[in-house]
Amino acid sequence: MIDRYSLPEMAAVFSDTTRFGRYLEIELLATEAHAALGIVPADDAAACRSRAPVTDAAFVQAVSDREAITDHDVAAFVDVVQAAVGQPAGAWIHYGLTSSDIVDTAWCWALRDAADLLIEASSALLQTVIALARAHRDTVMIGRTHGIHAEPTTFGAKVALWALQIDRDRSRLRAAREAIAVCKLSGAVGTYSNIDPSVEAIVGERLGLTPVPATQVIARDRHAEYLWACAAVGTTMEMIAVELRHLQRTEVGEVQEGFKPGQKGSSAMPHKRNPISAETISGLSRVLRGNLQAGMQDVALWHERDISHSSVERIVLPDSSLMAYYVTRRMQRLLAGLQVFPDRMRSNLDAGLGLVFSQPVLLSLVQGGLARDEAYRIVQENAAKALSEKRSFRDLLEADPRVVVSSELLDQAFDLPRSVRHAAAVFDALDALDAQ
């Protein structure tokens, strides 16, 4: 992932020094577990721990240099560690293990930590969205279907629905965390042929990872589930971003992204204040969904294992983690600084000449005794006339002799508070969510 979309706390999870630090800790724990079983001399296990190299930039370079000879990254890592520990103790490093024991366990360790960051970010975003929804619980605006004015709603109800979806994403992240927080140290084809299963159990307990049955590799449906959770996060962020992009259009003007001092919206047009955060989020969401496709294709491997998944995962697992985290944090910043214009929302609603009340008018005519289709045609004709002639919908209805309903019924049909009286029902679900 390029630095532009990498936040430091998530980037640290996937750095080379962190990765090799995980490899080393798994190796040392396995050696110590073997010592506990009486297979490795206790003094040698202690020497491995005390003489273990620091996995800093110099170590990373040493492994890279060795890999140029071995053409195998884990073998190169083991060679460098063994050389640092020295003989005879160093010979016990990687005892009974295969490369995937180390790599897969390290991947799952990293993804569990990444999931924790994503869950934390989702929880913080959720609180921001809940606060925004409650602040605008009664802010009336036009609801749109197909991009066309439909009926009144509230901005708070709209945002509350975002919050409920973000919470579902958080549930998906928690499930993905559980699925990926596993390990395997069961050897070349997963049969424990050269390693006691208790070694896996000891290492798993020390790392907080659950041992699972496996071939040479941990089943990749777990990784695909994690990528799905990341893609779902991105898709929710895009859903919100697309809505904000529309509401920020000049012709709509109901919200606006925050604009800090010194910021420039355009290199050429000083008046511009573009929805750059929302547009960035939309773009990165596309990449997240693309990465999910690659992860799904990694599930089917030849026999007990091939490495067609390996090159893919080196890209998509860190990148999806970084992007999902980035868009979540970017959305939180966007919504925390969002400018909302209730007066503009009301102005846009009123600009509809009353057409947004066409359904309650239709129901009033039915209530007054007209057949539904007849009532529909009357309302439709007057609505079209109001739109084409820019006249009040209600005035036209009152002048139409076919509209034989009382003024009281029409008053109810055109009553805005009545129209949105149940819009806040979504807050019951939001209140229950917030209490969890």
Report, as residue numbers or ranges, the catalytic residues: 146, 266
CA 286 to chain centre: 12
Report which residue type is found at 374.
E
3-state secondary structure of 257: coil
Rounded-to-integer distance, Cα 436 and Cα 433, Å: 5
Contact 108, 209 (CB under 8 A): yes
User: Rounded distance, CA 236 to CA 219, Å?
Assistant: 27
Residues facing 145 on adjacent strands:
148
DSSP 318-357: HHHHHHHHHHHHHHHHHHHT-EE-HHHHHHHHHTTTTGGG
Nearest to 208, CA basis, from 229, 176, 184, 183:
183
CA 421 from centroid of its chain's CA atoms? 33
CA nearest neighbour of 362 among 413, 297, 309: 413
Contacts of 368 (CB under 8 A, 6+ apart): 404, 405, 406, 409
Do residues 110 and 14 lie in contact, with contact meaning Cβ atoms separated by under 8 Å?
yes
H or E segment and range at residue 217: none
- Burial 168-202, CB ≥16 within 10 A → b, else e: ebbebbbebbebbbbbbbbbbebebeebeeebbeb
How many CB atoms neighbour CB 93 within 10 A? 23
Give backbone dihedrals phi and psi of 255, rounded to 5 degrees, phi first.
Answer: -140, 170
Cα–Cα distance, 293 to 316 (Å, whole number) = 10
